[in-house]
Amino acid sequence: MRNVIINADDFGLCRGVNDGILDSHKFGIVNSTTMLVNMPGVEHAVELARLHPELQVGIHLTLTCGRPVSAFVPSLVDERGFFRFTSRIFEQKEIDVDAVELEWEAQIDTFLSFGLPLSHIDSHHHVHSFAPLIPVVKRLSERYGVPVRNVFDDVEGMNLLTDRFSMGFYGKGVSVERLTRILENRREGETLEIMCHPAYVDSFLKENSSYCEERLRELDVLTNLNLL
């Protein structure tokens, strides 16, 4: 395990995101990424991953963007067939846990069908930390033999990717100074994951994400540093 993992989320979202992540790896400090297998840019992402096997690739499980992979999860979708949840999923009183497990297993199996090694599990909008779904995540981690992004306040028996996780390099926190401070505050011997979202802003991203210009700033910082 690397002591510091700089993980770029949303690989597979669209070509602009894929190219931004790859450039942040080739010319910067990104050494890991996680893939959305249900989004339009996934084939392009798979092709890039195959060309750059030194880039670790995990899965970015989702319930909050795109359509499900499984055809058997009606409780998770709206009338158009898209996931009915948003980043406010944590306010849900009830959720069909069995359907989530079926869908997330299908997403992981789709990833494995690409022939890529699966490095770890995380999720879009950190939905894997939603309390009713934590047992699902634990079972999937054990079933597929991979660790999980450590976004939990307190969890027992989970195979965690790192000792600590930072989402401080995001939004207003995107700067050389902030990233340097996060790295310098790592305790001796501690493993650390830093989340990032570099991208080039294409039309799909502009139409489907409120986080666009910030991704360009992230790309600038990540490709102009040699901090690791």
Residue at 75 is within a domain:
yes
Asked if residue 65 has pLDDT above 90, the reply is yes
Expressed as residue numbers, the domain containing 87 is 4-222
The reply to whether the predicted model has a pTM over 0.85 is yes
Listing DSSP states for 122-161 in one string gives: EEGGGGGGSGGGHHHHHHHHHHHT--B----SS-SS--BS
Asked if residue 1 has pLDDT above 70, the reply is no
Q: Please give the pLDDT value at position 58.
A: 98
Residue at 60 is within a domain:
yes
CATH of the domain at 66: 3.20.20.370
* pLDDT tens figures, 86-117: 999 999 999 999 999 999 999 999 999 999 99
Give the pLDDT mean for 169-174: 96
Give the pLDDT mean for 213-224: 96
Residue at 227 is within a domain:
no
What does the alpha-carbon distance between residue 49 and residue 47 come to, in Å, rounded to a whole number?
5
Residue at 62 is within a domain:
yes
Residue at 135 is within a domain:
yes
Give the pLDDT mean for 175-195: 94
* pLDDT tens figures, 186-210: 999 999 999 999 999 999 999 999 9
* DSSP one-letter code for 116: P
> Rounded to the nearest 5°, which phi and psi values hold at 141?
-60, -45
Nearest to 165 by CA among 29, 5, 11, 55: 5
Decide: 152 and 126 in contact? Cβ < 8 Å.
no
CA pseudo-torsion sign 11, 20, 226, 124? negative
Q: Please give the pLDDT value at position 126.
A: 97
Q: How confident is the model at residue 171 (pLDDT cuts 50, 70, 90)?
A: very high
Q: Is 192 helix (H, G, I), strand (E, B) or coil?
A: strand
Domain count along the chain = 1
Residue at 214 is within a domain:
yes
